[in-house]
């Protein structure tokens, strides 16, 4: 893994296809404006600033995939969720990366 990937989240090291096929909760943590410009089919928009306020939406999910524009905000979202006891979170990196696995 490159130093850039370690610092900014990079791409995930898990099989996103199987997680998505198993019904992972897809969460775009970009702003509403960014989300409106393009997003992953079936994803919900919960901006990074609202993650802790919306924690109830993450409870009882088998797995959660968070993503954004670069992987940086989704890395922060993953950390925030884990601090709140949500431990089944995958940083999917960019929304385009996740989109390629959604059909």
Considering the segment(s) 14-99 as one domain, its CATH architecture is 3-Layer(aba) Sandwich (3.40)
pLDDT of the residue at 5 = 44
Per-residue model confidence as pLDDT tens digits over 58-96: 999 999 999 999 999 999 999 999 999 999 999 999 999
- In the chain, where do the E strands start and end? 25-28, 44-45, 64-68, 89-94
pTM of the model: 0.86
Contacts 24+ apart (CB under 8 A), 52-55: 52/80, 52/84, 55/81, 55/84, 55/86
- For the chain, the 3-state helix, strand and coil shares in percent, each to the nearest 5, are 40, 15, 45
Residues of the chain with pLDDT > 70: what percent? 87
């Amino acid at each position: 893994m490159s130093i850039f990937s370690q610092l900014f989240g990079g791409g995930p090291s898990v099989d996103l296809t199987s997680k998505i096929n198993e019904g992972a909760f897809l969460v775009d943590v970009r702003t509403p404006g960014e989300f409106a410009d393009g997003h992953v089919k079936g994803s919900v928009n919960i901006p990074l600033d609202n993650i802790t306020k919306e924690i109830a939406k993450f409870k009882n999910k088998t797995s959660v995939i968070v993503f954004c524009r670069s992987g940086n905000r989704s890395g922060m979202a993953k950390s925030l969720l884990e601090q709140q006891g949500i431990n089944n979170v995958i940083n999917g990196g960019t929304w385009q990366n996740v989109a390629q696995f959604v059909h």
